[in-house]
Amino acid sequence: MDRYFQKISFEQFKKEIKDDKELYDEYELPRRSTKYSAGYDFFALEDFEINPGEIKKIPTGYRSKFKSDEVLMIFVRSSMGFKYNVRLTNQVGIIDADYFDNDETKGHMYVSLQNEGDKVFKVKKGEAYAQGIFLKYLTCGEEVEKERKSWTGSPLRKEDNNE
């Protein structure tokens, strides 16, 4: 499979989110809502609220593996910006191919949202609040030697990346 989402390990889930096996077993991986959707919807693990002016860092419980010449870009759902004035704090999240299983985060993605509106923004468990879109990217042909290291200490990517 060229690209996919998977849950973080239960050990990581317990440490970073909650020691709740039932919640871990039931939460959904990102998926496209229609045949022609570009984005994979990210679903809330639990209910959350963001007050006007507040910033909230939301754990996704996801990590994603994809080809070395691709990037996963994360955006808020369009309706959140239009209706509620809620934005990603970094405007667009960029997940590099070597982020999967890296030493620091083991690939766990977070989404940081800011409520710039004048009402409390509420998301229920299981509702989509962000979306990820995979894109190919180009480089200038320069050679970069530095690589992220996995928790095992070995390089994360191989040039062929056909797993």
Q: What is the pLDDT of residues 23-58, one digit of tens each?
A: 999 999 999 999 999 999 999 999 999 999 999 999
Residue keyed to tokens 């468990």: 125
- Helices marked H in 53-114: 78-79
Q: Which residues neighbour 132 within 8 Å (Cβ) at sequence distance 6 or greater? A: 30, 39, 40, 42, 64, 72, 73, 74, 75, 95
**Range with lowest mean pLDDT among 18-32, 59-73, 76-90, 121-135:** 76-90
Q: Is 74 exposed, middle or buried (0-12, 13-18, 19+ CB in 10 A)?
A: buried
Given a contact cutoff of 8 angstroms between Cβ atoms, the answer to whether 87 and 29 are in contact is: no
Domains and CATH numbers, the chain: 4-136 (2.70.40.10)
Position 34 scores a pLDDT of 95
Q: State the average pLDDT for the chain.
A: 90
CA proximity to 111, closest of 130, 86, 133, 85: 130
